[in-house]
Amino acid sequence: MGRPDDVRVLHPRRRVAGVLRVPGDKSISHRALIFAAMARGRCVIRGAATGADVRSTRAVLERLGVAIAGADDALVVEGNGLAGLDRDPRAAPAELDCGNSGTTARLLLGLLAGRRGRFRLVGDASLSRRPMRRVTAPLARLGARIGAGETLPLEVEGGRLRAGDIEAGVASAQVKSALVLAALQADGRSTIRVPGRTRDHTERMLAALGAPVRVEPDGDGERLVVDGALDALASFEIDVPGDPSSAAFLAALACLLPDSRLEIEGVSLNPTRLGFVGLLERMGARIGRVPADEAGPEPRGTLVVESAALAGIDVGPADVAAAIDEIPLLAVVASRAAGRTVIRGAAELRVKESDRIRATCALLEAFGVPVEEFDDGLAVTGGAPLRGASVDAAGDHRIAMCAAVLAALADRPSRLTGARWVSVSWPSFFDELERLAPRR
């Protein structure tokens, strides 16, 4: 049983129509805060994500002595360069609470590995189950001294790093970014090889700031060449575009409910973030892209989504890597598509905020969707009537929002325990659902 204030009744919806602006992109917001802390001088971040994960990054940086003023989505950061993050190595470790945010923890491991002092990273119960060796093992090849545990809490004994030739091991933007942050502080030139294409916000933003990071193709993956000995980044101002991973939920619903038309303004059109849009289009979705006429490292614009008949598709590892956060939602969409959708190569979902393969299968089963679970994915047969259900968010914001999409398509109201988890990425999600999608 959930707390009374954490249980929400979810209603069937008729259509989705209107104009939407989603919160600032979570990935970009994390990086903007961290890069501002590494800069020398005043940085301004407008439109930052307002969820709990980004607040965790802000709190950690403030704990390290970084002055950050302003509301969640309009921030002013006074950076003192990398040396401003140093602490007396004789002092007790600084306790840094990363909350539920894997991005906060993994990027901070890379950043703090090269700083003077001792730092202890902790997180909530969910984050403390997520794997960290994928970051700490390659960081050790740069000379990082980090506790030997597989998960948080981990203690970092920061210090001088050496350049190296590193294999990232997994196609993860978090791992890649942690290694880049460490390599920027190392002596000499480092090469980081990543076995696949991942989100490129770190590289785009650093390039715009003049940092010595170069990206080269490397077969099916990528190779980053990083020159070290950085002492500070240039100060900057940034307008954070809307988060396509948040936009995906109402976009999916607009695809599925008849007579729907949704315009999502100011959203990131970064190609590395539109994998889910491409998968929807393969299923038959009608989605238009209208780029904004403005310069900047991150492209933005409007997505125009209209209802359409969809068909099942096969989804492989490369597709999953390009849409990892939206794969549970894709399975939800597949429940209303004609035929069968098979998703493989998604084992990474088992080590997210929840075991997202298991949680997604449980969610679909509760609503009456035929689903088959694999070690690395699932298969969904579309077309069965959706029945209202009582479900649990499994401590996961994306599972909570997936439940709301399924409930909007069901035959009667549903009940969600764990509704509060949406605040991790989109605190006003349910308000926007009510505004744009009238109840049946």
Q: What are phi and psi of 283, to 5 degrees?
A: -80, -10
Please, are residues 371 and 364 in contact by the beta-carbon 8 Å criterion? yes
Residue showing tokens 């049946």? 440
325 is catalytic: yes
- The answer to whether the CB of 338 falls within 8 A of the CB of 309 is yes
CA distances from 378 to 111, 172, 335, 391 (A): 36, 21, 12, 19
Match 């919160």 to its residue by tokens.
23
Using CA atoms, how far apart are residues 32 and 233, in angstroms rounded to an integer?
Answer: 11
Which of the following is catalytic: 25, 97, 243, 325? Answer: 325
Task: Give residue 72's Cα distance to chain centre.
Answer: 17
**How many Å separate Cα 97 from the centre of its chain?**
18
Active site residues: 325
